[in-house]
Amino acid sequence: MNKDLMHQAVGYHGPTLLSLLKSEQYENPDIQSVSAEFLKTALHHRKDRRIDNTGIQQLIARKADLLFAPSWKSTPSTELNDEETEDYYAIMPPLEQLMEVPNEDKRQYFFRDIERGDIVIGRVASIREFGFFVTLICLGGDLVRDIESLEITALCPVRDVPSLGKHEDPLSYFQVGDLVRVVVKDVDRYHERLAVTLRPSVLPSRLSHWKLGVISNEDLPTYYRQNSTLDSHVMETYDNVLHQTLGFANPSTVEYLLGKLGISEIESSSLMRGLQSKNFNRDDYAPALRKKQSASWAFKCVKAGVDHFKAGRHVDAMNEYNKALEIDSNNVEALVARGALYATKGSLTKAISDFDLALETCPTHRNAKKYFCQTLVERGGQLEEEEKLVNAENCYKKALNLDETFSEAEEALQKLRKHMQVIYLVQYNTYRKQLPLFFCQIDSELRLDTLLYQIKQMACSCKMYVVTFQHGMVRYCPSITT
């Protein structure tokens, strides 16, 4: 058990959390064995604070064995200064700056939450013999608050200003208007007074790397430097500001933040006990669950679309099918239903595209194959009327490739081929009469459309040919006789 973390939690929340821990974790020997003296010492920092967050305390008590487990923070945390972290993750301005929070409320919450050891930054307002006064402009360390407009003043006594020499006045190093980074030493919440110090011994260990004293504008926190930009865009929303930050676009943001918190990417970090297992079924992961959920939503849209289609409301049906495919782009039922609607409306090319995609996703779908074959035959008939006989033949062949027993496609193909034989023979005889010298041996398997194509090419380029056809290939050369 991480006793230091428990010490901080009890010190912050007080006796209420202590009693909840004892009752909720009565079977946990580590928590029950914590000495009363140890827990009492954790309470001395919060004598004058009132915290009514019972829900959070109950959560901590119920999950104490997980929260305070040593394995929770399984990797050393990453410590980078403010300048280095600006590009690693989105550093946002204080939330209250994007809200209409009255200054009275800001001031009240500031004095409620400020603690001994917190870092604050301000400007030297005046210097006296007993010390100097600082007007606070922002918080340092890991705290973010919008306090510049609150005009909060803190006193730094002369005894809390380190001297570089035995006989030198320590206040002589400061001038009115200097920016200084100091640490809170005492808080009077009732009278709203602060005492600060420049002695690093007051800093907690997690903030010990910060340097106290006079600083420059470049040393101000990133979130404070962004305030001037934000003030000129009063209507900016939190979402807009977030997307404009450089760190938000960093693809390693999650990895960095986990490292900053000391949480391993491999070990389980969930407070849900059911997720503590390491052997999960692949179907229980988010992608599989999302796919199943999307399929369920899409199916509801398809069902609604079918109802609209049966009632003759084709526009509403199409909207439902499109909505289903927006949810699940490869939903077979939606593709088949939309393809059927396209075919009904005469958009055979779009229908064929939908049926083709449906069969790619599910090659055994009976309705997709059935409707696809019917639509191909109908499209072939359209192409025959347009005298695109080769394309029509391909449609019938594709239908037979899908279903060899589809009689409509077989009959249409045989009828088309007989029609094409007659047309090609007529054209062949016409071209043959136009050639002065023409010898021809036609293989029994020669396609007449191929023959006609070759003859057309010859007729365009030369008047006299010797032409032979062998094994389905056309061979020709200009004749040497006149």
* Better-scored residue on pLDDT, 419 or 394: 394
The pTM score is 0.46
CA 72, 75, 79, 83 dihedral sign is: negative
| CA–CA distances in Å: residue 232 to residues 88, 227, 228 | 25, 9, 7
- Of the CA atoms within 13 Å of residue 423, those in its CB half-sphere come to 13
pLDDT of residue 86: 62
pLDDT surpassing 60 at residue 420? yes
CA pair distance 422, 438, nearest whole angstrom: 21
Work out the pLDDT band at 449, boundaries 50, 70, 90: low
Work out the pLDDT band at 470, boundaries 50, 70, 90: very low
CA pair distance 373, 370, nearest whole angstrom: 5
User: 97-111 burial, b for 16+ CB within 10 Å, e for fewer?
Assistant: bbeeeeeeebbeebb
213: enclosing H helix or E strand: strand 213-215
Task: Dump pLDDT digits (tens) for 252-274.
Answer: 888 888 877 777 666 666 777 77
Q: What is the DSSP letter of 389?
A: H
pLDDT of residue 141: 79
Residues composing the chain:
482
pLDDT of residue 185: 94
Average pLDDT over residues 5-14: 78
| CA–CA distances in Å: residue 431 to residues 111, 212, 371, 452 | 103, 102, 42, 8
Task: Dump pLDDT digits (tens) for 138-192.
Answer: 998 778 888 888 999 999 999 999 887 665 788 888 999 999 999 999 999 999 9
Antiparallel, parallel or unpaired: β 465-470 and 473-478: antiparallel
Task: Dump pLDDT digits (tens) for 368-384.
Answer: 999 999 999 999 888 88
User: 169-191 burial, b for 16+ CB within 10 Å, e for fewer?
Assistant: ebbeebeeebbbbbbbbebeeee
| SS3 (DSSP) at 141 | coil
Average pLDDT over residues 40-59: 64
Share of the chain above pLDDT 90, in %: 26
Largest separation between any pair of C-alpha atoms in the chain: 128
Choose the weakest-confidence range: 123-127, 168-172, 321-325, 471-475. 471-475
Average pLDDT over residues 241-247: 82
Q: Which two three-digit tokens encode residue 378?
A: 């109908």
pLDDT averaged over the chain? 78
Choose the weakest-confidence range: 25-34, 35-44, 244-253, 318-327. 35-44
Report which listed range, 84-88, 428-432, 435-439, is most confident.
84-88
Choose the weakest-confidence range: 74-88, 177-191, 415-429. 74-88
pLDDT surpassing 80 at residue 229? no
pLDDT of residue 263: 73
Contact 136, 224 (CB under 8 A): no
- Residue indicated by tokens 């394309």: 391
CA pair distance 372, 354, nearest whole angstrom: 9
pLDDT surpassing 90 at residue 320? yes
pLDDT of residue 171: 87
pLDDT of residue 473: 40
* Better-scored residue on pLDDT, 3 or 303: 303
pLDDT of residue 277: 63
pLDDT of residue 101: 87
Q: Which two three-digit tokens encode residue 368?
A: 């997709």
CA gyration radius for the chain? 41
* Better-scored residue on pLDDT, 166 or 282: 282
pLDDT of residue 100: 81
CA pair distance 256, 79, nearest whole angstrom: 10
pLDDT of residue 167: 58
Strand locations in 40-114, DSSP E? none
pLDDT surpassing 60 at residue 339? yes
| SS3 (DSSP) at 93 | coil
Q: What is the DSSP letter of 447?
A: -
pLDDT of residue 179: 94
